Structure formats: structure tokens, C-alpha cells
């Protein structure tokens, strides 16, 4: 059975292809169209399909449109109709208003026709509408390796719910509870991110900023507008999620920060208060989920599952002995979840738990890869001279140990917002000036933002307190304490609070990246490299041409694409 999964309704547009229950290909549209998040989330463009991502998935699997059995869309229009309520605090013609909802439903209704037009096949009878949060849950549950687990999804909004609490049992995902708009953890992050002068999608910046602040400064004011624990209550008159202004929030926290203005300490403290509240709220939701379904494993998904600080606390202090988070817990992963949910709902068998391993069912490296001929053609087109390296891992390790920043482009592209060693910029974690240089001269971003270490999985506990095991360390989804005796040796990847957002690298999941780090260890005695996404205020690079354009437009010292290396020297 061939199932095409599509996420197109809001943002992080994406596509995935599941063949007989296995994820064959998956990618976000932003990597192809070079527009962050793929598109804007408008009431009128739910039918704006991830056409390039769909084309890639079919090509990667060698599937013709006529061979598709089901098309799974990560949204349920019927559930939306049953649960939507007009928001009196909304702009006419936009989200939450009656006229905006009419436009949204019209664009939803166009999706089957748009899919048919794109594929050249009548797909009306093949479309399966998968509830948004079920798609999120499926993206974590089916690859997790257990045939029973609790599931928790927390994001901005699905159809009308803002969180799902449930259980995975065999092929079935059973919803057991939820939260409803306006009680949304994700929307609180979006609104406060914008209040702090960032974009609504910049929760990761606020998370990094929080470590510099005091969460007690705004604690009482914050408590007036949000509740805590599993029964979340958010005051819409304070947040006005669907209105463009910030007057209500300014009454509680003072004037908002405009984009580009200096950060005041009160802004930094508010970020800390928000992070502290998020920690308590997610732990409360996990405890509620455990009471509903006291399994050993929790599968956590939704955009809020990208918060690495909270994830660490959930793993260490939560009621579940195992926490699994996929590499793409945000909306980009719902294409995979929708396809897997549709496959199993149609009678597809659940894999035997004893045969599952993280490497067999992992979806993190599901994007495109490029042949040697395509790589050489990209170098020629860009006018960049390259040399074939007889040992690219050793050569790049040598350059990094000598202080160079190297673009590392290898194999299949990662799925999710974090570079996992195939579309990465790599540098020396020992260099105390590397963080400031990368933020200022290469990434062109805020000075407070930290960088992550990619560390050999077998050596990670020598350097970091990893706490409980989790396969999701492979996906850079937990911040954890750096061992005090080691922190001074790797200053470029230690955040102000003494933590690092660790990615463990194993030889079975990414052998070439593992070998590069091993070579760096041989040279330096440090079994890790600094890893950040290969981009510059743009989506992570997808093609060799993207990589070379970013190389030429920044102060990266060298770029390694496959076995080919180019440098500025």
C-alpha cells in the first residue's frame, strides 16, 4: 500500500510517502521553495499544496501518481465544523471570525481537487482526513518502537483543540482528553515571542534568551493571565491572540519590544517566566496523561515538543520512564503521521515490537540526496573550484581542529527544524570566540543564541549528564547539564546556564558523521563538534546549489559536499 501524506493547512507544509508502513521519503516544502515555513498561514490558502515536496517523495520512492492508494491530509474539516466557535476578539475576514472561517472552509474544500490536478489522477475517493492532533500523535507513536504508549500533543491549535492526551494501543490511537482554544500553550509562546520583538515562530530564540533572566520578576503578573498545571486557563482578554496589537499585554508587562530594539532586562525576565511556566504546565499535562493511561513510554509531539529545556525536565521528572519525541514534532512531521495513521486505519499491520529498532523506523534522514554527477555540476554552475578528497571525514576534522568553519553536506536531508549532521555547519567547540563569531559573521543572528554539540554516542556520558536514556537524543531535543569538570574545555557549546542541547551521534544512524567526529577526537581528545544548521537567515540548505550559495554569501571557510571540498584559501 502506497500512502501519500500531506500537511498543507497551516504552516510547515510538508509531504511524506509511506510504503507498506515504512516511511520512504519525507520533506518540508520550505527546503525546496526557500520560503521559511513553506508559506504563511492564511485563511485563504489551506489548499496551497507542498507540490515540490510531493514530487520529491514520489520520485524518491519510484512511485507514479496512479500507484498511490491513499492520500492522507493532516486536518479534518468535519471536526473543524463541529468544534469551531467564533472568537469575538478577532479581525473580520481573518482567523476566528465568521467571514474568515467561511473563507477557510472554502479553501479546505478545494484540497481534493487541487491534489487531483497536481497528480493528474482523480484522488477524491482516496483522500483521508486525519485529525491534526492524531497526525501529530501518529508521527511519534508508530515509530517509537512500542506497541503501547501514552501520547501527548501540545501545539498552537489543530481543528479547535490545542492539546491531545491519549493512548496508543497496537494500530489504534485513542484520544482520552484535550484542551480547547483559547487555552493554548503554543499560542502563548507565539504571542509573547512577538511581544518580545521576534516573530511568532521564534519560540526557540525566546527559549535561549530565558536562561539569562529571572523567572520571579513577572511571576505574579503572569499568574494573573494564565493558569498552571493540567487544567490550563488562558485569559483571551489579556492575550488577544487573533488581534494584531499588544495593548493588553503591555498593561501587565510594560511596552513591547519592537523588532531590532535593544533587549531590556524586563524582556529577558519575561522570557524566563514564560519558560518556567511552560516547564510546569507540560509536566502537569504529562501527569494528567499518565493518570489516563499509565504506560511506560510517553510519545510527545506538537510544536511545543521542540522546547528542549522542558523536554529534559519531562524526561527526568515526569511520570514516564521513557520519553520519545520524533525529529519533526512540529507541523512538518504531520505528513508522516497522517500517512501512517491512514495506513493503519486501512488495516495495515503493526510491526512486531521485537523487530523494531530506532534505526529501522527512524524518519530523520528521509529527504533528498544527490549523486556525484549532480554535485560536480553544482560546483561548475556556481563557478567554485573543488577537489575530491580521498578521506573527506579526516580532512574536515583536520580543518575544524584548525579553527575553520566548514559546511558539511552529506547524504539524505534531515526532516525537522534541526540539522542532524547532513546539512550542518561544523566548528571547534573548544574555541571560546567561536560562538560570537558564528552568531555575528556567519549566521547573522542574536548574540545570546547558543550552539549545540554533536557528540559520539558512546562517549556522551563522559561529558554530559544525560539522565534517563532516550533515542530522541539523536534528534537534538534535550538540553542537559555539562559535567562541571568538562565545561571549560568546550566553551563554544556551553550555554550561560551550564547546559548544552546535545545531539548524540551513533555509527549505525549516521556512519560518516560519526567517523568525522571520531577523527576530530583523535586530533583533539574532544569527541564532539559544534553543529548548527547550514543556513543564513533562510531555510536549511537542500541542494548542492543552495549550499554553495550560502558558502559564497557568508564567511564559511570551506564546504564539503559528498567527497568534494572547496575552500576560500
In this prediction, residues 233-258 reach a mean pLDDT of: 96
Number of Cβ within 10 Å of residue 441's Cβ equals: 12
**230 sits in which H/E element:** none
Residue 232: the pLDDT is 82
Number of Cβ within 10 Å of residue 261's Cβ equals: 11
* Angular region, 121: left φ>0, alpha ψ -120 to 50, beta rest: beta
DSSP label of 439:
I
Q: Distance between CA 11 and CA 124 in Å, rounded?
A: 23
167 & 123 share domain: no
- Residues tagged active-site: 11
21 & 114 share domain: yes
pLDDT band at 568 (very low <50, low <70, confident <90, very high): confident
DSSP label of 199:
-
DSSP label of 51:
H
Taking only the tens place, the pLDDT of each residue in 388-421 is 999 999 999 999 999 999 999 999 999 999 999 9
Q: What 3-state class would DSSP assign to 168? A: strand
Asked, for residue 397, whether it belongs to a domain, the answer is yes
102 & 3 share domain: yes
**129 sits in which H/E element:** strand 127-129
pTM above 0.95, yes or no: yes
Is the distance from CB of 222 to CB of 275 less than 8 angstroms? no
The residue out of 334, 359, 384 marking a domain boundary is: 359
pLDDT at 356 over 90: no
pLDDT band at 301 (very low <50, low <70, confident <90, very high): very high
Residue 351: the pLDDT is 60
Query: Which of 173, 148, 176, 471 minimizes the C-alpha distance to 343?
Result: 173
Q: Distance between CA 504 and CA 495 in Å, rounded?
A: 17
409 & 551 share domain: yes
Q: Distance between CA 221 and CA 174 in Å, rounded?
A: 37
115 & 231 share domain: no
Q: What is the DSSP string of 57-115?
A: HHHHHT--GGG--EEEES--HHHHHHH----SSB-TTSTTSHHHHHHHHHHHHTHHHHH
Asked, for residue 228, whether it belongs to a domain, the answer is yes
Largest interatomic CA distance in the chain: 65
Write the CATH number for 405.
3.90.870.20
Asked, for residue 287, whether it belongs to a domain, the answer is yes
Residue 361: the pLDDT is 43
Report how far apart, in Å, the C-alpha atoms of 170 and of each of 142, 149, 296 are: 9, 9, 15
12 & 56 share domain: yes
Residue 364: the pLDDT is 85
What size, in residues, is the chain?
569
pLDDT at 357 over 80: no
Q: Distance between CA 443 and CA 203 in Å, rounded?
A: 18
149 & 54 share domain: no
Helix axes 98-109, 111-119, angle to 10 degrees: 30
Is the distance from CB of 25 to CB of 5 less than 8 angstroms? no
Q: Distance between CA 233 and CA 279 in Å, rounded?
A: 16
Give bridge partners of residue 158 from the DSSP assignment: none
Q: Distance between CA 531 and CA 90 in Å, rounded?
A: 41
Asked, for residue 163, whether it belongs to a domain, the answer is yes
391 & 413 share domain: yes
Asked, for residue 364, whether it belongs to a domain, the answer is no
Q: What 3-state class would DSSP assign to 407? A: strand
466 & 455 share domain: yes
In this prediction, residues 450-475 reach a mean pLDDT of: 97
The residue out of 359, 381, 410 marking a domain boundary is: 359
b/e string for 177-203 if b means 16 or more Cβ within 10 A?
bbbbbbbbbbbbbbbbbbbbbbebbbb
Give just the sign of the alpha carbon dihedral 467, 470, 476, 478: negative
The overall average pLDDT reported for the chain is: 95
Asked, for residue 84, whether it belongs to a domain, the answer is yes
Query: Which of 199, 226, 233, 257 minimizes the C-alpha distance to 41?
Result: 199
Share of the chain above pLDDT 90, in %: 94
Query: Which of 362, 451, 414, 412 minimizes the C-alpha distance to 145?
Result: 362
Write the CATH number for 164.
3.30.420.40
Pairing of strands 22-28, 14-19: antiparallel
Q: Distance between CA 268 and CA 270 in Å, rounded?
A: 5
Bond prior to 543 in cis (omega within 30° of 0): no
Q: Distance between CA 125 and CA 127 in Å, rounded?
A: 6
Report how far apart, in Å, the C-alpha atoms of 324 and of each of 164, 321, 329 are: 16, 10, 10
Asked, for residue 99, whether it belongs to a domain, the answer is yes
Total domains in the fold of the chain:
3
Is the distance from CB of 478 to CB of 472 less than 8 angstroms? yes
Q: Distance between CA 241 and CA 185 in Å, rounded?
A: 12
Residue 183: the pLDDT is 96
Query: Which of 336, 339, 328 minimizes the C-alpha distance to 306?
Result: 328
Q: Quick one: CA torsion of 272, 276, 281, 286, rounded to 10 degrees?
A: 120
Residue 228: the pLDDT is 61
Taking only the tens place, the pLDDT of each residue in 307-340 is 999 999 999 999 999 999 999 999 999 999 999 9
Taking only the tens place, the pLDDT of each residue in 54-71 is 999 999 999 999 999 999
Picking from 8-12, 158-162, 444-448, 487-491, which range would have the lowest pLDDT averaged per residue?
444-448
74 & 202 share domain: no
Query: Which of 269, 288, 295, 4 minimizes the C-alpha distance to 127?
Result: 4
In this prediction, residues 522-542 reach a mean pLDDT of: 97
pLDDT band at 168 (very low <50, low <70, confident <90, very high): very high
Q: Distance between CA 217 and CA 60 in Å, rounded?
A: 52
Residue holding cell 465544523?
A: 81
The arrangement of strands across the sheet holding 2-7 comes to 22-28, 14-19, 2-7, 70-73, 127-129
In this prediction, residues 78-85 reach a mean pLDDT of: 98
Asked, for residue 195, whether it belongs to a domain, the answer is yes
Taking only the tens place, the pLDDT of each residue in 179-219 is 999 999 999 999 999 999 999 999 999 999 999 999 999 99
346 & 306 share domain: no
Pairing of strands 558-561, 406-409: parallel
Domain extent at residue 113: 1-143+326-359
351 & 380 share domain: no
pLDDT band at 359 (very low <50, low <70, confident <90, very high): very low
Q: Distance between CA 182 and CA 175 in Å, rounded?
A: 20
In this prediction, residues 219-242 reach a mean pLDDT of: 87
Query: What count of Cα atoms within 13 Å lies in the side-chain half-sphere of residue 490?
Result: 35
Amino acid at each position: 500500500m502506497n500512502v501519500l501524506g500531506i500537511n498543507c493547512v497551516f504552516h510547515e507544509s510538508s509531504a511524506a510517502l509511506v510504503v507498506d508502513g515504512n516511511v520512504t521519503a519525507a520533506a518540508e516544502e520550505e527546503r525546496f521553495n526557500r520560503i521559511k515555513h513553506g508559506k504563511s498561514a492564511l485563511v485563504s490558502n489551506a489548499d496551497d499544496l507542498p507540490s515540490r515536496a510531493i514530487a520529491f517523495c514520489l520520485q524518491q520512492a519510484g512511485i507514479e501518481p496512479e500507484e498511490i492508494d491513499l492520500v492522507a491530509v493532516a486536518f479534518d474539516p468535519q471536526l473543524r465544523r463541529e468544534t469551531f466557535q467564533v472568537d469575538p476578539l478577532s479581525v473580520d475576514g481573518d482567523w476566528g471570525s465568521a467571514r474568515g472561517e467561511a473563507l477557510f472552509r472554502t479553501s479546505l474544500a478545494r484540497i481534493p481537487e487541487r491534489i487531483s490536478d497536481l497528480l493528474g489522477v482523480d484522488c477524491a475517493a482516496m483522500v483521508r482526513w486525519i485529525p491534526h492532533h492524531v497526525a501529530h500523535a501518529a508521527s511519534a507513536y508508530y515509530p517509537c518502537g512500542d506497541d503501547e504508549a501514552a501520547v501527548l500533543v501540545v501545539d498552537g491549535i489543530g481543528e479547535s483543540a490545542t492539546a491531545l492526551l491519549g493512548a496508543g494501543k497496537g494500530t489504534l490511537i485513542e484520544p482520552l482528553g484535550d484542551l480547547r482554544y483559547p487555552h493554548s500553550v503554543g499560542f502563548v509562546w507565539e504571542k509573547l515571542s512577538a511581544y518580545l520583538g521576534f516573530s511568532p515562530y521564534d519560540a526557540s530564540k525566546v527559549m535561549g534568551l530565558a536562561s539569562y533572566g529571572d523567572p520571579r520578576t513577572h511571576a505574579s503578573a503572569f499568574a494573573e493571565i494564565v493558569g498552571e498545571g493540567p487544567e490550563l486557563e488562558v485569559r483571551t482578554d489579556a492575550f488577544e491572540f487573533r488581534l494584531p496589537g499588544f495593548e493588553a499585554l503591555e498593561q501587565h508587562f510594560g511596552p513591547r519590544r519592537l523588532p531590532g530594539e535593544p533587549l531590556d532586562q524586563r524582556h529577558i525576565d519575561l522570557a524566563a517566566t514564560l519558560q518556567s511556566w511552560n516547564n510546569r504546565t507540560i509536566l502537569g499535562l504529562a501527569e494528567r496523561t499518565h493518570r489516563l493511561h499509565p504506560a511506560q513510554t510517553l510519545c510527545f509531539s506538537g510544536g511545543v515538543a521542540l522546547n528542549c529545556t522542558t523536554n529534559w525536565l519531562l524526561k527526568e521528572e515526569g511520570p514516564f520512564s521513557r520519553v520519545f519525541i520524533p525529529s519533526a514534532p512540529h507541523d512538518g512531521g504531520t505528513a508522516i503521521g497522517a500517512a501512517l495513521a491512514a495506513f493503519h486505519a486501512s488495516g495495515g499491520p503493526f510491526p512486531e515490537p521485537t523487530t523494531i529498532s530506532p534505526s529501522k523506523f527512524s524518519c530523520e534522514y528521509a529527504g533528498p540526496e544527490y549523486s556525484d554527477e549532480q554535485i560536480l555540476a553544482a560546483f561548475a554552475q556556481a563557478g567554485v573550484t573543488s577537489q575530491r578528497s580521498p578521506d573527506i571525514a579526516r580532512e574536515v576534522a583536520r580543518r575544524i581542529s584548525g579553527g575553520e568553519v566548514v559546511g558539511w553536506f552529506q547524504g539524505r536531508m534531515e526532516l525537522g527544524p534541526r540539522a542532524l549532521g547532513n546539512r550542518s555547519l561544523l566548528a571547534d567547540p573548544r574555541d571560546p570566540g567561536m560562538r560570537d563569531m558564528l552568531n555575528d559573521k556567519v549566521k547573522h543572528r542574536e548574540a545570546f543564541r547558543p550552539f549545540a554539540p554533536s557528540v559520539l554516542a558512546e562517549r556522551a556520558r563522559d561529558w554530559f549528564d544525560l539522565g534517563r536514556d532516550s533515542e530522541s537524543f539523536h534528534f537534538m531535543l534535550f538540553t542537559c547539564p555539562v559535567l562541571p569538570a568538562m565545561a571549560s574545555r568546550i566553551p563554544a557549546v556551553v550555554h550561560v546556564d551550564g547546559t548544552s542541547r546535545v545531539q548524540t551521534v551513533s555509527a549505525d544512524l549516521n556512519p560518516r558523521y560519526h567517523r568525522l567526529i571520531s577523527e576530530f577526537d583523535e586530533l583533539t581528545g574532544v569527541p564532539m563538534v559544534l553543529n548548527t544548521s547550514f543556513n543564513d537567515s533562510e531555510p536549511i540548505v537542500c541542494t548542492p546549489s543552495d549550499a554553495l550559495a550560502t558558502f559564497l554569501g557568508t564567511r564559511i571557510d570551506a564546504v564539503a559536499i559528498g567527497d568534494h571540498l572547496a575552500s576560500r584559501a
